[in-house]
Structure 1
Amino acid sequence: MLSEPLAAWIGRQRWFGGKGRVIDELSIESDVELTSGLRHLIVAVWQEGSRDRYQILLGERTELPDRLAHALIGTIGDTYLYDAVHDSERMSWLLEGMAHDVNGNGLRLRHVPDATIDTSQRSLALGAEQSNTSLVYGDAYICKLFRRLIPGVNPELEIVTALAARGAPHVARPYGWIETDLDGTGTTLGFMQEFLSNANDGWDLALTSVRDLYASLPELPAAEAGGDFSAESLRLGSATARVHHELATAFPTDVIESHEVKRMAETFRRKLGRAAAEVPELRRHVPAIEHAYHQVELLTHEVPVQRVHGDYHLGQVMRTPTDWVVLDFEGEPGQPLAERRALYSPLRDVAGMLRSFDYAARHLLAGHSQAERLEPRAQEWADRNRAAFLEGYAEGGGIISRGDAALLRAFELSKAVYEVVYEARNRPSWISIPLAAFRPR
């Protein structure tokens, strides 16, 4: 009976990974009562022969307040069923459970050793995320609930707790987590960290700088326009290098030999072929991209690999009053867990941030009536901040040799190829942003 309203509701949620496809079946694999009026569900959703699991915190009330009307899932008899992450009264169970290391019906709530959790804080669910749901407790904590569940320890929990134990300065302090067993494997359900209430999002700061540049006199260079971002890009590069150093110290490292590097270049080339077949606008750039990939195939030295962020861009960093803090170490949520925990060249993260600077520079030009006139200014802003980031990365101890430069360029172009396909499918008016990556620099 419960499966029907859940199936109708789940397909409309931002974090549901199967939007646009028919749900063939939804079944409830786990149903645990947490407290009166609150249940924890793990549901299996079958689509086109494949299964995904999701966690739902199900609230039950005989009367539904107006503040929860938007969270309604359905009714059974006289009982309203709703998404309880939006109910601050019910979500106090999470702080209480972590504070006291509660076990119950297969769920385990834990706090980080030596962490003290203030259980009086009230929750607020944030609505901006695509794949998870985050609860902010007062100005103290933020708890990310992983909606789509993959058996195993989430990389974010693994990495942040390891770095924090080492006293790493560029991560937010961890406080606790929720876990259960899926397929006999300990699996992370949620992770709580310090909420950076006085911090600013890196993407928002960058866009403010770009707006200031576009609003300034046309002849004023980016270095002299109000809100120049390059000093922050320099600090961010240095912070990124230090995070990479901490990751290389806290986790195993390795090297890949030249034949494995060639295999990586061939993977890039296959993805390019598929992308060019789908997006005609990309085809004229294929020879130049393939040339860049060929430069990687000519490399003869070993390439160091380690744990990395895996999904690094300006939206994953926060500027506190003292420095930059890096968030969201879970990698790309849509990728298998083993791939997100694999070792890569740290240049993959560097390339991701360089692409983010290009996006920040041109994001405001999509559909802009003066886009052609402002394009040189966008390129100037991107070049200035990319250079500052790389300078800061070197100052922080990051090493990019002549051979590494070829690999970095290949990582960046491969990311841009992915972006072209994404924009063609989802935001065609934005496709000019990643296409600009293929111009000679």
Structure 2
Amino acid sequence: MTEFVLAIEWAGFEKDKYVHTVLEDNILPPFIAQCRWFAGKARSIKQLKVKDAVHFDEFIFMTFEAKYEEGDVELYLLPLSFVETNTQDISPKGILSKASMDDKLGFLVDAIYDVNFRNALFSSFYNQKAYDQINKDVLSFLKGKAFIAESEVIESVLPNIDSSNSAMIFDGKYFLKLYRKIFAETNPEAEMVEFITQNSDFKNIPRFAGSITWKRSNAPEITFAVMVEVVESLKDDWSMTGDYLNDFMEAFVDGNFQIRESVFGKVSQLAVRTAEMHKALFALRGAEAFNAEPFDRQYRRFLHQKFENLLERRYTLLTDNYLRLDEQAQFLAWKFMEAKDMILDFIDQVLTRPLFSYRTRIHGDYHLGQVLATEDDLVIIDFEGEPESTITERKIKHSPLKDVAGMIRSYHYAVSAKLFNSAETSNIDAQELQRAADRWYKLIKDTYLEEYLAVFGSPHPLFKDNNEINYLLLFHLLEKAVYEIGYEVNYRPTWVKIPLKGIAEVLAEVEKLRR
């Protein structure tokens, strides 16, 4: 925290160049360096620039740009509040600077730490307020079907969550996610959760309770926050699957191959909930952003080009890091590189083969960690989409089998990580471990896929026939495994064999199709 006292006024804040300069040069750099939500800490910052001030009650939503020596410019949201000295016990990590306003001394703080700011937020949701700005923009508070509060006076807390956004919980019932890194478009999560809640009876998501949107007169809307129901969960499905695998591993070490029937029950339940989510997102008419669309030429070209570009980047990455890999990973990487022509031929088919299935909005970053286990059911969370994709790309409609492939890959990761990285199995032959992992994975994969497709029945517009299902599923399984190589080479080189093994399995199926 800086020692000097910054004189501020909310009126005209957006034009106060002196305050902007002090913030940019002296206050923001040390403050954001200790913020979990600031993603640029490891990069060389060239410039910080205050951009906009959106007025709200007695507070301001300030946006600022982070420009780096290399890479894209990022836009961040920082709500500001002035808190008088001794009126609140503000957490030190929320204080930007000592400040004065209207001859009063206090602090300029990240407003989420100010209870008055949180109270004003909830009151604005309750009354569905809209705050007009001097430039004809509007800050709009919308409440959804899940918002059933009977009073605008409510208690709030900041949960201890390590996240790239900021969270607030109101009355133990409503969870508000304030986006920190923002984009010049509405956030896909807010759109998805609102659409599912308002247009279907699917209840296995944190249902939409509201959103805060900056509606700009001469530019696209920007989502500041989304509010949903609080979900009382036991753990996420990745952790729960890990528990199942502990039982499996213990039996395997004792010489037995066994999977409890309750495990197949939970896999089936997840498959059904996945299918119900996709049915809730499927619409042939209604909101244009959610209408199902065919596999037209433009989309096919996008899919083809994206996969080809990804493939080239991963081949380069593996070539550059080949000597860092262990012997098994090197063998699998070599097989992957040898199969380049076959993979390119398989990818090329998406341009020309008949595809009469439909595509729609999907979750986009679907894996076991995105599912919460409650007492007797499952809840699907986090609809922001694939982290490496742009917001525009996250809203592109795909076959729901892209989500299915993501979940199947997640199961493959779960069993591989458990069997190959546990002390209990360290003395067991690698080939024996691989056979056990493959058998577990196949049984779980087949159960999940069969139960998922059974929910839709046949025919269904999303899935023309088994030939199309088979091709699209293999396409997205291969794409997902190739995508995974990037993270593993950079952060967990000993795990790179997991996606490479996944690629080998898909290529075996592709080879069968060719024959």
TM bucket, shorter chain: 0.7 to 0.9
Task: Tell me which amino acid in the other structure corresponds to 1:99.
Answer: Y
Deviation string for 1:110-155 (max 9, x for gaps)? Answer: 21268323541322234232x3223233431111111111122222
- Tell me the residue number matched to 1:397: 456
The one-letter amino acid paired with 1:329 is: F
Structure 1: how far apart are the matches of 2:246 and 2:88? Answer: 41
Larger deviation, residues 411-420 vs 196-205: 196-205
Aligned equivalents of 2:295, 2:406: Cα separation in 1: 21
Match of 1:213 in 2: 248
User: 1:71 & 1:419 partners in 2: Cα distance?
Assistant: 36
Does structure 1 retain, via aligned residues, the 8 Å contact 2:362–2:403? yes
Structure 2 residue 139 is the aligned partner of structure 1 residue 107? yes
Structure 1 residues 377 and 238, CA, compared in 2 at 3 Å: closer, same or farther?
same
- From 281, 291, 313, give the equivalent of 2:367: 313
Alpha-carbon shift at residue 353 of structure 1 (Å):
0.8
Q: Which of 271, 274, 279 does residue 245 from structure 1 map onto?
A: 279
Q: Distance in 1 between matches of 2:229 and 2:205?
A: 9
Q: 1:44 to 1:262 in 2, by over 3 A?
A: closer
1:417 aligned onto 2:482 = yes
Does 2:65 correspond to 1:6?
Answer: no
Paired residue for 2:91? 68
Q: Say whether 1:143 aligns with 2:143.
A: no
1:75 Cα deviation from its structure 2 partner: 4.3
Contact kept in structure 1, 2:144 and 2:198, CA below 8 Å = no
Contact 1:209–1:228 under 8 Å retained in 2: no
CA distances 1:245-296 after superposition (whole Å, capped 9, x unpaired): 2212262112125796476345423321221111234343133465355335
Contact 1:311 1:352 in 2 (8 A): yes
Whole-angstrom distance in 2 between the partners of 1:138 and 1:429: 45
Distance 1:287 1:248, change over 3 A: farther
Show the 5 A alignment for 1:139-178: 139-169=172-202, 170-178=204-212
Cα separation, 2, equivalents of 1:141 and 1:216: 42
1:357 Cα deviation from its structure 2 partner: 0.9
Counterpart of 1:110 in structure 2: which amino acid? L
Q: Assess, with a 3 A threshold, how the Cα gap between structure 1 residues 396 and 24 changes in structure 2: closer, same or farther.
A: same
TM-score, normalised with respect to structure 2 = 0.76
Task: Tell me the distance in 1 between the aligned counterparts of 2:211 and 2:157.
Answer: 16
Letter aligned with residue 275 of structure 2: A
Which residue is equivalent to 2:511?
Answer: none
The 2-side partners of 1:260 and 1:32 are apart by: 37
Percent of paired sites with the same residue: 25
1:275-424 to 2 correspondences below 5 Å: 275-279=314-318, 280=322, 281=330, 282-288=333-339, 291-292=342-343, 294-298=345-349, 300-302=353-355, 303-364=357-418, 367-369=421-423, 370-371=425-426, 373=428, 374-397=433-456, 399=463, 401-424=466-489
Q: Which moved more, 1:72-81 or 1:293-302?
A: 72-81
1:231: which partner in 2? 265
Aligned-partner Cα distance in 1 for 2:265–2:408:
15
1:272 partner letter = L
Equivalent residue number for residue 79 of structure 2:
57
Once the two structures are overlaid, the 10-residue window that deviates more, 90-99 or 65-74, is 65-74
Deviates more, 1:212-221 or 1:389-398: 212-221
Question: Is the counterpart of residue 25 in structure 1 residue 61 in structure 2?
Answer: no
Which secondary structure state, in structure 2, belongs to the residue aligned with residue 43 of structure 1?
strand
Distance 1:344 1:217, change over 3 A: closer
1:14 is displaced (CA, Å) by 3.3
For residue 468 of structure 2, give the secondary structure of its aligned residue in structure 1: helix
Report which stretch shifted further, 132-141 or 261-270. 261-270
SS at match of 2:158: strand
TM-score w.r.t. length of structure 1: 0.87
Instruction: After TM superposition, give the deviation of residue 329 of structure 1 in Å.
Output: 1.9
Tell me the distance in 1 between the aligned counterparts of 2:270 and 2:87.
Answer: 46
For 1:160-193, what per-residue CA distance to the aligned partner results, in whole angstroms no more than 9, with x for missing partners?
2222222332333211111113562221110101
Would the aligned equivalents of 1:289 and 1:413 in 2 still touch at CA under 8 Å?
no
2:220 to 162, 185, 198: 185
Q: Describe the shift of the 1:159–1:262 C-alpha distance in structure 2 as closer, same or farther (beyond 3 A).
A: closer
Q: Which runs of 5+ in 1 are unaligned?
A: none
- Partner-residue secondary structure (3-state), 1:439: helix
Q: How far off is 1:342 after superposition?
A: 1.3
Matches of 1:57 and 1:236 in 2, distance apart? 38
User: Aligned partners of 1:181 and 1:48: how far apart in 2?
Assistant: 31
**What is the CA–CA distance in structure 1 between the aligned matches of 2:87 and 2:504, rounded to whole Å?**
56
Point out the more displaced range, 86-95 or 2-11. Answer: 86-95
Q: After TM superposition, what 4+ stretches of structure 1 lie above 6 angstroms from structure 2?
A: 64-67
Is 1:95 the equivalent of 2:116?
no
In the alignment, is the contact (CA less than 8 A) between 1:288 and 1:438 conserved in 2? Answer: no
Change (3 A) 1:391 1:88: farther
